[in-house]
Structure formats: C-alpha cells, structure tokens
A = this chain, B = another copy of it.
C-alpha cells in the first residue's frame, strides 16, 4: 500500500499526518505534533515530526508541506517565515528530499488551505474557488479552472493587497498604504475604532485600543461606532470581492479567519457592496458564499492534496 505524508508547519506547532493513497476521508492514519522551534532546530523538529508518522509497511509516495510565508513552489525555497527565523532562503524541498529520499512539495499556508477546502472541505465539486482568511491579516488562495493559481514565481493570489483606499489609506502590514488588509482585517477594524475614539467619538468601548473581538462584542450590545466599524469593513470586503468576481468568475467564495466569527456584523454590508459593484447578475447567480469546513486542518489537508497532485 502507498501513502502520503502531509505537514502543516505553523508558527506555533508542526503537525505531520499519514494518509493512505486513494483514501477519500479526512482522518489520517496517524498524526503527530511538536512545538515549532526557531533557530537552529526548526528543520530537526520538522524531520522528527515526519519520522513519528513514517509508516513501517507502506511506501511513501511523497511529502507535502504547508509553510507560512512566501516561497517558490517550483524550487521549494522558502523566502522567509514570520516565526521560524532560520528558514530564510531555505531550500526546504531539497532538504526534505535528501533527508527522506522521497519527493517533496511545498506551498504557502493560504494556498494550501484553499487546496484543502477545495479537495476535502467546503469547495468539493467546484472548479473556480476563492478562499480568503480574514484575521490579523488577510490571506487568500485561488483555484481557477481546476488548478491552484501560482503565477510566474509562485506569488499569485494575494487578494489582501488590492488597493481599496487609493489616497492616504492606512498603512498595511506589507508597508504600503490603503490595501484591503489594512482596512478590513481584524487589525484594520481595530485601528479604525482606535482612531475614531482618539478623535472623541463616543462609544460603549472603554479601552482606548480595543481589538476586533471586543469591538464585535460592543457591536452586539448596540455600540454604534462598533457596528459602523464592522459594516465599513464589510463594504470594503464586498467591493474587493466584486473585483474578484469580475477577475475570476468563481462559483464559490470561502471566507475563513477569526473575523468571520462576526459575519453577522458585516455580511449585509458585504453583500450590498457586491451587488452595487458587480457588472452583471451573471457573476452572482448561483454563487456560493460560505465558511470553511475543515477548521484548522485546512492547511494539513491542502498539504496532503498537494502531495497527491504532485506525486500521484
């Protein structure tokens, strides 16, 4: 029997899971976790986690790895990751292949979550899918005409960096201004409220710098500023989603990340903005807008799918 090994190398833990080739269910045969470590043991922790699930009686066709941060999907070289400081220009694919003597493929975490939701989650059966995770930042992965969108150097699919406030927009996590992430992420929502409070807006909020979750709670208690902050984010998200509909004509949008726990606070504004921006009802007719089905295992299922696609 053959098997694949999937790895989600996250910022806090590394998970490795063993899947039987051809299996359709999402439960692995074996799964192990270890806390992620930075310099100098990150790769050692990764190999230990993989060894812990390595099968005795099956042939491993290949290893798929989801990694936070930009990377080249062809060479498998990681540009950098936020929490693993010695993975800078790190040839992860080559290192794994040398160590385990099986082929390996790597993908960034948002792309892998999109792939996971497509193959095993909320997007099964669709061929044009956009996955967006809205939390501290905004990440995304795109399945277009049945393939993961990668681009020339594997850097495609960054919907969080669509410019939405062209003049003097807020600073984005990337260092440029007015991107969707700077306005509609949890960070963006919190910044807007903090600015409004500093400008003397009255609010039920007592902290000077509330976070998105606290703003959500205040909104549900009727706080006008907090309600407005989420609606504002929804409007910007909706406009950018309309851009995405025109660009990709998807049949499904999957919205994940912590901010979507407050979907009740921004979905109406989001839908209104989509409707007021979209050039034809053909783009929204039959469009599914939904939530992820896989929770925090989307990246792991994506890494599994990547291995299946790459080494079938």
- Expressed in whole angstroms, the Cα–Cα distance for A164 and B276 within the complex equals 14
What distance in Å separates the Cβ of A13 from its nearest Cβ neighbour in chain B?
27
Which single residue of chain B is at the shortest CB-CB distance from A276?
B176
A153 and B162 CA atoms in complex are apart in Å by 24
Please indicate the chain B residues that have their CB under 8 angstroms from the CB of A278 in the complex: 176
Q: Which of A166, A236, A250 has the most CB of B within 10 A?
A: A166
Q: Which of A130-166 contact B (CB under 8 A)?
A: 142, 144-145, 147, 149-159, 161-166
Do residues B161 and A279 form an inter-chain contact, with CB atoms below 8 A?
A: yes
Does A144 lie within 8 Å of B153, measured CB to CB? no
CB distance from A19 to the nearest CB of B (A): 26
A159-B247 CB under 8 A given contacts A144-B144, A149-B145, A152-B127: yes
Shortest CB-to-CB span from A88 to chain B, Å, is 14
A150 cross-chain contacts in B, Cβ below 8 A? 145, 249
A239 proximal to B (CB < 8 A): yes
Cβ 8 A contact of A163, one of B155, B243, B286: B243
Segment 277-302 of A: residues with Cβ below 8 Å from B: 277-280, 282-283, 286
Q: List, in ascending order, chain B residues with CB within 8 A of A151's CB.
A: 128, 144-145, 248-250
Determine the residue in chain B with the shortest Cβ distance to A178.
Answer: B277
The answer for the CA separation of A172 and B278 in the assembled complex, in Å, is 11
Chain A: interface size category: 35 or more
**A200 CB–B CB distance under 8 Å:** no
Q: How far is the CB of A139 from chain B (nearest CB, A)?
A: 12
Secondary structure type dominating chain A contacts: loop
Q: How far is the CA of A70 from the CA of B280 in the complex (A)?
A: 11
Taking a contact as CB atoms under 8 Å apart, the answer to whether A154 and B249 are in contact is: yes
> Which residues of chain B are near A149, meaning CB under 8 Å?
144-145, 248
Taking CB atoms, residues of chain B closer than 8 Å to A276 are: 176-177
Do residues B152 and A246 form an inter-chain contact, with CB atoms below 8 A?
A: no
* A277 contact from B163, B242, B277, B279, Cβ within 8 A: B163
Residues B163 and A239 in contact, CB atoms below 8 Å apart: yes
**In whole angstroms, how far apart are the Cα atoms of A246 and B179 in the complex?**
11
Contact A174 B249 (CB under 8 A): no
Q: Are B279 and A157 within 8 A (Cβ)?
A: no
Select the residue from A172, A240, A246 with max chain B CB neighbours within 10 A: A246
Partner of A152, one of B158, B176, B236, B250: B250
Q: Given known contacts A153-B282, A174-B279, what 16 new A-B pairs fall within 8 Å (CB)?
A: A128-B151, A128-B152, A145-B149, A149-B248, A154-B249, A155-B246, A155-B282, A158-B247, A161-B279, A162-B162, A163-B164, A163-B239, A166-B236, A174-B280, A176-B278, A243-B243
A-B residue pairs, 5 tightest by C-beta: A151-B249, A174-B279, A158-B246, A156-B249, A152-B251
A-B contact pairs, 5 of them (CB 8 A): A128-B156, A145-B147, A161-B246, A179-B277, A179-B279
